[in-house]
Amino acid sequence: MTDTIFVKGLSIHARHGVMDHETEVGQRFVIDLELHTDLSEPSRSDRLADTVSYADVVATTTAAFKNTNYKLLERAAGAVADAILSNFPRIRAVKITVHKPHAPIAAIFDDVGVMLTRARHP
């Protein structure tokens, strides 16, 4: 059985993109996370030590996303996945959606971004 911890709508200002103004000025990105783990122990114990701290996940995500400027959202999302899997051994898999609401596209659109899933290898 796999349970899920989620964080939706994490807003981060970062400097990712291929255009000069994206790396100079930056823009707002929105991140959604689904963290797949076994929550049977904390659902019985009611102890933070038996689960994954949302605050720690948000801090890790923010640092991984902001510390390096990437050209591609795919790489930025991959950096977040790598950081989460390496820092939180209880997490078996992570699904990351990165929204880029102000992408430099000559069109009217509701949303654009990437979604990736990474799992821990047995």
pLDDT one-digit tens code per residue, 66-111: 999 999 999 999 999 999 999 999 999 999 999 999 988 999 999 9
Q: Give the global pTM.
A: 0.93
Catalytic residue among 66, 71, 95, 100: 100
- Among 95, 93, 83, smallest CA distance to 122 is for 93
Measured distance CA(36)–CA(28) in Å, rounded: 26
Which residues lie closer than 8 Å to 63 by C-beta, 6 or more apart? 83
Domain boundaries of the chain, sorted by first residue = 3-119
Catalytic: 100? yes
Go through the chain and tell me how many residues it has: 122
Fold of 3-119: GTP Cyclohydrolase I, domain 2 (3.30.1130)
